[in-house]
Amino acid sequence: MSMPFYVSPEQLMKDRADYARKGIARGRSVVVLQYEEGIAFATENPSRALHKISEIYDRIAFAAVGKYNEFENLRVAGVRYADLRGYSYDRKDVNARGLANAYAQTLGTVFTTESKPLEVELVVAEVGASAAEDQIYRLSYDGSVADEHGYVVMGGQAERLGGVLSEEWRAGLSLPEVLSVAVRVLGSTEDGEPHPIPASQLEVAVLDRTRPRRAFRRLTGPLLEDLLAIAPPQE
């Protein structure tokens, strides 16, 4: 008679976490940074069709790393959640905190009850009337939520790039300055040799607090090239 196969709950959770982390580590990093007039998002992404940075609602954006089909399903669910809440109540009732809580419940439920966790890491950001009112939430594969300030790095090189970014970023940067920081951080390598990333290989978007209603805007083509060109040189 064969003995039943048993795995302790602690080992099962550890195996799921390791599995999810390995999947996330294979993705290119995404950086999210506050600047003087809003929040900027940047990642190396040669695809013009498959976006890792997207608009959710009027002043809310979404960024993700990991398996595209999994975080795309979460993005669509977030858009539906926001549209339904805005229609049922008021557009002002849709906020990043509520959306982050909804995502946390979904991620946590899948992590604890399904055989395979979602291999994703998310950022939900909302731009406010001032930098002090900006909201940035980072969500992990297990549903844990972190309230971030200033900047966030996600992806396989998050720890190393976060260390680089902590030295580069400061409050009150202009848009060209913060984009220059983002590109330098994304292009940094472990051996210290910079890896220049052309504008055509970047996916960049901003939540611009100066826009009247829909704050989300993609920066592409000549506009992005001009913004990167006018950035001040690194000291």
> Among the CATH numbers 3.40.640.10, 3.60.20.10, 3.90.1150.10, 3.20.20.30, which is that of 26-229?
3.60.20.10
Is the Cβ–Cβ distance between 24 and 176 less than 8 Å? Answer: no
Indicate the domain borders of the chain: 26-229
pLDDT 10s digits, 151-175: 999 987 888 888 889 888 999 999 9
Does pLDDT of 232 surpass 60? no
Q: Stretch 72-87: mean pLDDT, rounded? A: 95
The phi and psi torsions of 109 (rounded to 5 degrees) equal -65, -45
d(CA 102, CA 123): 13
More confident residue, 200 or 233: 200
User: Percent of the chain, pLDDT > 90?
Assistant: 70
pTM summary value: 0.91
For the chain, state the CA radius of gyration. 19
Question: What is d(CA 105, CA 114) in angstroms, rounded to the nearest whole number?
Answer: 13
